[in-house]
Structure 1
């Protein structure tokens, strides 16, 4: 078993690029369904596809791609990473200003507009990415589909439990009910929906620390130094068994007006 100090050095120094957080297989995620397979089935019947928030293009590069496939990304350092991965596959990658979180869009924050004409796509995908429902509807052709998978607002609850912390209260919940109300209000019809639990397995405490350091939206005030005592306790308590964290996820497929 690796030494705790060595794991923390790696967690601090190892870079994070694109949107691949598997850490050479030390972080494994198990979804309650096969969202990739669902998207592949939809893509097989569609002449085009838009992937919103593609990250470094890791997930999209493994999908079945229609002849015309386009990806957007809101974090500029990811653009060259995604282009290097997706351009050889014929996918155009376009930089955009990402949408504000769906639960606060009524506060008027900017972002989320899509640089495409009306009716540009027959299939739009958003995997763990915020979106403006009206913009998704606008760029979809009549009868087009929007498929999304999201993580609910309680994403951090089990991480707080593992770290022995109290999870903060949530004033407005991002969950399947909220998302369905929002997308239906924009003019969509729900075709399919589901909610479940995603299981993440961290091979060691170093992988957990690296993950939380690089994804600050989960626990915004997380610090390896401040959490060092608890992390070392976890290291000795879990050993080679690793650490398991559960997250609430949901998905739906919605149909644009014909």
Structure 2
């Protein structure tokens, strides 16, 4: 009987030690686990963006690097906030489509992503997002449309809550980054230890712009329930576009650009 108690006690200690170790590993390595900031930076010359230009935007004590092209006369410009992986330049086909139809765009890498030096953190990403919007707002009189994809839904929603834009499009957004982590690791105390929580669920309350949320029912990265719940919190909801069977990176091919154009047309003043 004493031996059994000792074995059970040893097992309990082992379980507790393993749990504490897992929490400690997650805490000290959380940004390496949260972000996937590696990838090639394409040159503008390797794209069809013949009239775009490289830009460097001051943000705090550093600069973030990206591409900008002004819109055709009378058209709006898209402030594009990228997702979690690779460089903004990987999505050049999107920007090429924007400009082919008269839209301008600004796209860039947050600090710590391939094109921009610095350290990745929620505070830095949000600061970079605001700096980019303010740079664009000072440069043009064209209406600014905010588009945030995946991780970019965080800075996009934050910027829309702090600045005046014409519309906010959220592609595969999270309710909050900490909500996604809690769904993925339900036995870990992520709400207590996660540093970069990106609380879209709180920021959306201060978003006055019309909002379109796009998501897929087969999204294995951010469950579609996140997009639905975030849309329900929007003070000025316009449309919820749910694509049956679409995964996290499928919405462009599923036709989100057509949805976006119709949304932008509704949102812009006549």
Same fold (TM over 0.5): no
Per chain length, whose mean CA-contact separation is higher, i.e. which structure has more relative contact order (CA < 8 Å, sep 6+)? 1
Q: Please tell me whether Structure 1 or Structure 2 has the larger radius of gyration of its CA atoms.
A: 2
Structure having the larger proportion of residues in helix: 2
With structure 1 as the length reference, what TM-score do the two structures score? 0.39
With structure 2 as the length reference, what TM-score do the two structures score? 0.38
Structure having the larger proportion of residues in strand: 1
